[in-house]
Structure 1
Amino acid sequence: MPLPFLTAEADSEESAAGAEPLPYEDRDRWRRPYRPGPWRVGGAALLLLLASYILFSALIIALAGALPGAGICIGAATVVIIGAVRLVRAGIWVSAYGVRRVGMWGTTTVEWSKVDSIRTVQQPVKWLGLPRTVQGQALSLALTSDEPLKPLVTDHNADFLGRREAFDMAADAVEDWVTEYGVRS
């Protein structure tokens, strides 16, 4: 059985010329310029664990013969699973179109042409999204229309709590996207 992906033929210019770019090379796709943090992934894992317990209880309830109760448990588990997926997807995403801030309850997209500047500022920020504020850094956009906009990310959110170097790298990556698309920073 020939395996052409293991041979030198796969590296030839002819096969690479017609190939589609890999997802990380395609600038038009939305991508997160950093990895999700341990708090975000851990919270989603706990939600998925809770959903598995709810689904197991739905199985037991269904075997006992109470199908409406099993349906309620399956519905509750579905809501918890959707919440876990939404929690993992939350953060900032960039593409050639602009920057997108995905939250648990909503999404805000800003085109690069509407961005006046981007900078890292020292300000009071929410700790893990809770009402408690602490002094920290935030990556904020200034729009050409002077609309107030929440900070994109902070060094005390679920992605960067206790990972200051990762916050700095993510802020630099977003600033690189801004400078690449002709916006002053």
Structure 2
Amino acid sequence: MGKGTDSFKSELGKNTAKWVSNIFFGDGHSTPYRTNVKVEKLQLELKKQKKENNLISRKIRYLNNNENKTSLEYKKEEIITTKVPNNKNEIMDFSYFLFSVVKVYGWKSDENEKGINSLSDVCLVKLEQCLMKLKLYNNTEEANLINKEIKNLKKKRFFQKNMVYIGLGLFFLVALVLLKLGVIK
């Protein structure tokens, strides 16, 4: 017989032996079990992340459920009156909650959106309080992470609040350059 037939027979024998051993001894030693372990580890990590994000989602739902009470003012007052926790993990959870509120609302350049800007500014101040508390408890790694995000939010605030002025400035700069080059007369 040829090599193809021999390899087919050995493969068939190997797979049949695996099937029989899985029936008698279970999947504890089989190849699918090893892939299931990886899947189970990923599922455990996902469950852990869901638990960590649970506090944030509960607070966002709580804030969203209270839309009737002059929504933004109520949310702002709620954040102002919330004390910064003393536990590192709780501080980080609270910080993530504040980051999510700022990312949802952001800052607006329109003067009619002062409530949104005010809410985001309050969140930024609370984040700075969280940063101070983390530094107080010598949690430098977490403090550096929060500090980096605060700097990014401050840049974002500048650009979002001044987007109209930045756009107009760029428009006039391009028009001036085109005028000097003689493209526009």
Larger Rg: 2
Same fold per superposition (TM over 0.5): no
Question: What TM-score do the two structures reach when normalised by structure 1?
Answer: 0.31
Structure that is richer in helix per residue? 2
